[in-house]
Amino acid sequence: MIRSNYILKLLEKDERLDGRKLDEYRPIVVEKKIIGKAEGSARVKLGKTDVIVGIKTEIETPFPDTPNEGVLKTNAEFAPIAHEEFLPGPPGEDATELARVVDRGIRESKCIELEKLCITEGEKVWGIYVDIHVINHDGNLIDASALGAMAALLNTKIPKYEDNKIIRNEFQMDLPVVHKPVTVTVGKVIDKFLLDADQEEEQVLDAWLSIATREDGVVCAMQKGGKSGLKQKDVDDMIVLAMKKSKELRKKL
Amino acid sequence: MAIIKGIELIKNGKRLDGRKPMELREMEMKVGVVPNANGSAMVRFGKTTAIAAVYGPRLALPKHLQSANKAIVQCRYNMAPFSVDERVRPGSSRREVEISKVVRLALEPVLFLENYPKTTIDIYIEIIEADGSTRVTSINAASLALADAGVPMKDLVVAVSGGKINGKLIIDLNGIEDNNSEADIPMAFIPGKKEITLLQMDGELKHEEIKEIMNNIFKAGEEIYKMQVKVLKDKYRVIV
């Protein structure tokens, strides 16, 4: 409580606990191809927040209404190692939301050419599994996970498939990725906007808006969270800020 | 409701169900539809029907759920197995878990939670039939149910979806439009203050289009708000 009041007091003066500017991210470290067994992978650190994203590919049956398209599935696991409040068990509300927000950013941007992942129309397609594994939670899991997912997809390779068998260590092609969507979450507290809130800062946010944008300036997904409402002007300002910052994040891919 | 490649969703300015781009579906609202609940409501937009029931504020149990200085809100959005073409398997899907969360967050800002420490306000929503825009229909129903329960509120919450089909901006997406739209924005807001409490988007939109859709939603919301107020007043008029 005292700590929260202190954070708010600092924010009034446009200051943060760790000395960052309001629109400044913590140091962003993106490591690629870190899991040999995965078809694609990345590890993203935003300060002390640490997320690993691994991509696995499996043979799947396509959805009936998209018989010639590969299938994308995103899952997030809040591993109990990552935070004192993360418990073993099936994904809760926040992990489910995280997975779905990251999924929408990828899916709606149409960054993966899913029709190139068809093996036999209506029967067999490649399933792309994006698994987000939180190693340490210090806030802003959405941006870290979305960045990690995109970084991992960009180095994903599709294995060879012969005689109805996946040959795991031989590859036929790179995953066809044609866009680079990036998600920026803008927090609002009092009348200030801040980026890359750490876990303590997240506790004092009134509201937040995650905005996924493509390199051509198209917005492809949004999600509002937090306990308070937003004005339309806030939303406009948040979109402008997210678009500006996304350019910086995209360079890390 | 399926994805249909190349489907023409709007012809000569009319949508497949005959609506104009900015036209809401036929709406129906009722309060007090679940006698056992402290408050309840049914809201129907075209074929999408949601029933919401509110229980509480009541003691939050088990005890570890309690908050010492305010009420908690628990919300469950659930689709009836028969509500869509392909049967929905009972039990919460990931989609339902997420929607339950965002619906709760859409409603919490109008409640005086600090007035009811250690209690829970339980909001249960059942989608009886789904034809697009179920989360916004749920919010309209839950908002009425809270008012019907006599839970003090700063204002009602109004929700409606907006989107883009075949390059045209529209309001209140039905199922087939939802699945084949270029973009979809479900939004909820507090009418008095024009404060947005739910905002999601998926698809592809320019910033300008997002602004325009949000304006359309604010405008369409006025009509929904009027009807909400009317059904609430009508109920109590009968009693007096």
Query: Can you tell me the distance from the alpha carbon of A109 to that of A156, in angstroms, rounded to the nearest whole number?
Result: 18
In a domain, B17, yes or no: no
CB within 8 Å: B207 and A243: yes
Predicted local distance difference test score (pLDDT) of residue B2: 77
CA B93 to chain A, closest CA, distance in angstroms equals 10
Predicted local distance difference test score (pLDDT) of residue B85: 87
Predicted local distance difference test score (pLDDT) of residue B240: 55
Number of domains in chain B: 1
No. of helices (H) and no. of strands (E), chain A: 5, 12
Asked whether the beta carbons of B183 and B205 are under 8 A apart, the reply is yes
CB within 8 Å: B98 and A97: yes
For residue B153, the 8-state DSSP code is B
CA B162 to chain A, closest CA, distance in angstroms equals 14
In a domain, B19, yes or no: no
Confidence band for A51, pLDDT divided at 50, 70 and 90: very high
Predicted local distance difference test score (pLDDT) of residue B239: 58
Go through the domains of chain A in sequence order and give each one's CATH number: 24-250 (3.30.230.70)
> Minimum mean pLDDT among A80-84, A174-178, B69-73: which range?
A80-84
Instruction: Please state, rounded to an integer, the average pLDDT across all residues of chain A.
Output: 96
Q: Which of B2, B197, B218 is nearest residue A229 as measured by Cβ atoms?
A: B197
Query: Can you tell me the distance from the alpha carbon of A121 to that of A136, in angstroms, rounded to the nearest whole number?
Result: 41
Per-residue pLDDT tens digits for A18-37: 999 999 999 999 999 999 99
Structure tokens at B220: 């369409």
Query: Can you tell me the distance from the alpha carbon of B90 to that of B127, in angstroms, rounded to the nearest whole number?
Result: 12
Amino acid at A44: V
Asked whether the beta carbons of A237 and A216 are under 8 A apart, the reply is no
Q: Which of A219, A228, A235 is nearest residue B109 as measured by Cβ atoms?
A: A228
Task: Kindly give the confidence (pLDDT) of every residue in chain B, 240 residues in length, as a single tens digit, with 9 standing for 90 and above.
Answer: 578 888 999 999 999 999 999 999 999 999 999 999 999 999 999 999 999 999 999 999 999 999 999 999 999 999 998 899 888 888 889 999 999 999 999 999 999 999 999 999 999 999 999 999 999 999 999 999 999 999 999 999 999 999 999 999 999 999 999 999 999 999 999 999 999 999 999 999 999 999 999 999 999 999 999 999 999 999 877 655
Per-residue pLDDT at A1 exceeds 80? no
Predicted local distance difference test score (pLDDT) of residue B62: 93
CA A58 to chain B, closest CA, distance in angstroms equals 21
What is the per-residue DSSP string for A119-132?
Answer: EETTTEEEEEEEEE
Predicted local distance difference test score (pLDDT) of residue B87: 87
Predicted local distance difference test score (pLDDT) of residue A88: 87
Domain of B135, CATH number, reads 3.30.230.70
Instruction: Give the E-state strand segments of B9-47 in sequence order.
Output: 10-11, 14-15, 27-31, 39-45
CA A161 to chain B, closest CA, distance in angstroms equals 28
In a domain, B54, yes or no: yes
For the entire predicted model, the pTM comes to 0.91
Contacts of A26 (CB under 8 A, 6+ apart): A18, A20, A46, A47, A48, A49, A196, A198
Nearest of A215, A233, A71 to residue B210 by alpha carbon: A233
Predicted local distance difference test score (pLDDT) of residue B237: 79
Domain that holds residue B59: 24-233
For residue B70, the 8-state DSSP code is B
φ and ψ of B217, to 5 deg? -65, -45
Inter-axis angle of helices A93-108 and B94-107, to 10 degrees?
A: 100
CA dihedral defined by A191, A197, A201, A205, rounded to 10 degrees? 40
CB within 8 Å: A229 and B196: yes
Residue of A nearest to B179 (CA): A65
What Rg do the C-alpha atoms of chain A give, in angstroms?
19
Burial class (CB in 10 A: 0-12, 13-18, 19+), B212: middle
Residue of B nearest to A231 (CA): B195
Residue in this structure with the two tokens 């996970």, named with its chain if needed: A145
Asked whether the beta carbons of B23 and B174 are under 8 A apart, the reply is no
* C-alpha to C-alpha distances, A131 to A96, A114, A151, B177, nearest whole angstrom: 12, 18, 13, 30
CA A203 to chain B, closest CA, distance in angstroms equals 15
CB within 8 Å: A231 and B105: no
A216-237: average pLDDT: 97
In a domain, B152, yes or no: yes
In a domain, B15, yes or no: no
In a domain, B143, yes or no: yes
A126-141: average pLDDT: 96
In a domain, B209, yes or no: yes
- Long-range contacts, stretch B35-42, CB < 8 angstroms, 24+ apart: B37/B145, B37/B149, B38/B149, B38/B150, B38/B151, B39/B145, B39/B146, B39/B147, B39/B148, B39/B149, B39/B150, B39/B151, B40/B145, B40/B148, B40/B149, B41/B141, B41/B142, B41/B144, B41/B145, B41/B148, B41/B231, B42/B141
As for the ipTM of the complex, it is 0.85
Per-residue pLDDT at A186 exceeds 90? yes
In a domain, B194, yes or no: yes
Residues of A in contact with B191 (CB under 8 A): none
Q: Which of A99, A109, A239 is nearest residue B94 as measured by Cβ atoms?
A: A99
Q: How many CB pairs under 8 A join A and B?
A: 106
